[in-house]
Structure 1
Amino acid sequence: MIDPPVPPVSSPARLVLERADLERAASAGLVEAGQVEALWTFLAQGKPYPEEARFSFGHTLYYFGGLLAISAMSLFMTLSWDVLGPWGITVLAIIYGLIAWAGAEMLARRGFAIPAGILAALAVFLVPLATWSAQHALGLWPEVDSALSGTRFNQYHKWIDARWLTLELATLLAGGLALWRLRLPFLVMPVALTLWYMSMDLARWPAGTDPWDLDHARHVSLVFGLAMCGAGGVLDALRSRRGGADFATWLYLFGAVAAWGAITASDSGSEAARLGYALFNGVLVLFGAVIGRRVFTILGAMGVALYLGHLSFELFRDSLLFPLALSAIGLAMVGAGLFWQRHEAAIHRRLRALLPGAK
């Protein structure tokens, strides 16, 4: 009698299953050969496993080509401003957006989720350009006497100004409608990027706000960042229960950068506060490992490195013991990494059990 296979120590919550896997299971005697077709038909009736980005040549071409198209349409199109004028740019942006959206719809129907998401994101990225040009054409764009003249759309990606809020609101509306129509993860990227931009531009609202009021800017950025990370956490929780594509990545990325940047810029000058900042970033490294989001781990490691740099160049500049102590800490971290790798499955189970809603 053949002993049943021993289950792994830690079973993943989701698997990418192919028909060949069922056929191999039948060859191993785990299921009857006649059950393969019925089982595959049953599984195919459920939600298909979403196509996810991976580092392959084809996917690299997708994203690199999409980046070129987005840059050309949303940044460099304004070089033709003197030739086409505001109405010409508006009409051209709308036409290109409709063509990109039609291509996204066609690719989505054929199951090409990643290129469909890139084309749909291109259509959303053309919304602020069309909005900006239309406001110029209608005489609704407020001109101010500052370094931000508003005569080039590429300044939208360079300067912080409350006037961009109308563009951002239009982009968020378009992005929300696009996500409602096509549930594609990459469509979250223009939405998350726009929210990040909005967190900075709101620091200059209402008009007349002191541009050097850094405390106000940090507070706005922190609130937006935490809200975006919270929304990412909700989407992660829904995904763990219902399955589906990963819609939280871009919210985590821009939200974490906004919140971490605000916290990092809030240096009170107190050594106790700086030590607390280092401990916070250490927890952030662990938190990123627990939930499987590298952006938190990377930002936490950067924060710890900043604190160690402060100790090295400021507090212990002339100390001979500091390099030895720092080396000991580094070796201890290597040892902790080895321990983590050997017991990663058990550690993940115990830490995930502490999260709200864990079973």
Structure 2
Amino acid sequence: MKITRKNLDDAVDENIITADQAVKLHDYLSGLPSVGPTFNFTNVLYYLGGLIAIGAMTLFMNLGWESFGGWGILFISLAYAGVGLKLAGIFQEKGHAIPAGICATFAVALTPLAIYGLQQALGLWPDESVYQEYHKYIKWHWLYMELGTLMAGLIVAWRYRYPFLMMPIAVTLWYMSMDVAVMIMGDYSDFQFRALVSMYFGLLMIFAALWVDIRSQGKIDYAFWLYIFGVLAFWGGMTAQESDSELSKFGYLCVNLFMIAVGVVVVRRVFVVFGAIGACLYFGHLAQEVFEDSWLFPITLTAIGLLIIYLGVVWQKNEKALTVKVRSCLPIKLRTFLESKTS
């Protein structure tokens, strides 16, 4: 948790530390470099500058770069990446973890552009598409750029070990989930199949994020971006599935409710947010299509909502005993992980 001046003053009121110790401890903690994603003006500047630089070489890349040719694009990309890694090293030595992580991430984000330049230079580019379309359209031959980005990302993440480095890795995995579907289907476009691939790919990302989360034991949040894009790919693919069966739609509700429960257990809001959106979509379906002319439906739904509130009160009274009982059945590593999340 973040320790504020008020926390220290409260400790003084409880006679845990003296007022003089509180002042000295606050001054010491304030002088330490920020290592977490604290919302303050300094970190806003860090991330704003970093995202502008990353966006300039990815999302906002224009056709003007095509005039440099393949070799030009490759060497310029490598030069920019070298500058990013050099700055990351300098910031790391000075203890500025956030700007170091952003600069290292900037270097990784240049990998697709460098691979694109190399393929163009060697005459291996398969069609008339350009790098500007990489973030707009789904094509099978983006896979070379994505695999290269994953390799570069894992190497740089192993070297610098900053959580923000997981962002380009997670985004690349999300892109791959779409491009792999195109590679399998070829020219035949099947939206449902793509959604299914996205759903299963997202599920794999979620399990990978959980594994990373357990391995890190809550010390540094390496799993954040994997959870974000894993849930996005899974939930988006699941929601895009079509079905005329009310049973399958009810199953969709159950999965979303399960996501909310998982989010509470592993303390990840992204599960709760998307699960709540999915549940609302299901209830909207009931209101507009199944019970369109029923005056009883809103009353019933209100009663269900109040019942859930009551169950929350009951759970709060018995939470400790039930939690201990359930966790006693889990493996030790998972039990330790969950305890670290709620401590």
Tell me which interval the TM-score lies in, with the shorter structure as reference length. 0.7 to 0.9
Q: Which residue of 1 aligns with 2:273?
A: 298
Is the contact made by 2:143 and 2:176 (CA closer than 8 Å) also made in structure 1? yes
Question: Which has the larger share of helix?
Answer: 2
Aligned residues: 325
Residues 150, 172 of structure 2: 8 Å contact kept:
yes
The aligned counterpart of 2:57 is: 73
CA distance in 2, matches of 1:27, 1:335: 36
Deviation digits for residues 114-150 of structure 1, max 9, x if unmatched?
221111111101110111122112211001xxxxx41
Identity of aligned residues (%): 43
Aligned to 2:69: 85
The answer as to 2:216 corresponding to 1:232 is: no
Shift in Å, 1:28:
7.4
CA RMSD of aligned residues (A): 3.4
Match of 2:182 in 1: 204
Give 1:356 deviation, angstroms. Answer: 3.5
Q: Is the 8 A contact 2:34 2:98 kept in 1?
A: no
- The 1:338/1:182 distance shift into structure 2, 3 A limit, reads same
Does residue 248 (structure 1) correspond to residue 223 (structure 2)? The answer is yes
Q: Does the 8 A contact of 2:202 with 2:230 survive in 1?
A: yes
Corresponding position: 1:185 with 2:163: yes
- Aligned counterpart, 2:139: 161
TM-score (norm 2): 0.83
Does the aligned pair in 1 maintain the 2:192–2:242 contact within 8 Å?
no
Aligned mates of 2:311, 2:324 — CA distance in 1: 18
The answer for the alignment partner of 2:294 in structure 1 is 319
Residue matched to 1:10: none
Deviation at 1:312, TM superposition (A): 1.0
**Aligned equivalents of 2:321 and 2:98: distance in 1?**
34
Normalised to the residue count of structure 1, the TM-score between the two structures is 0.79
- The 1:107–1:341 alpha-carbon spacing in structure 2 relative to 1, beyond 3 Å, is farther
Q: Deviations over 1:260-319 (max 9, x none)?
A: 222222232111111121122112112101110011111110110110111011111111
Work out whether 1:194 is the aligned partner of 2:172: yes
Kept in 1: contact 2:84–2:106 (CA 8 A): yes
Does the 8 A contact of 1:290 with 1:351 survive in 2?
Answer: no
CA gap of 1:339–1:100, structure 2 versus 1, over 3 A, is: farther
- The match for 2:241 among 266, 273, 278 is 266
Structure 2 unaligned blocks of 5 or more: 26-31, 337-343
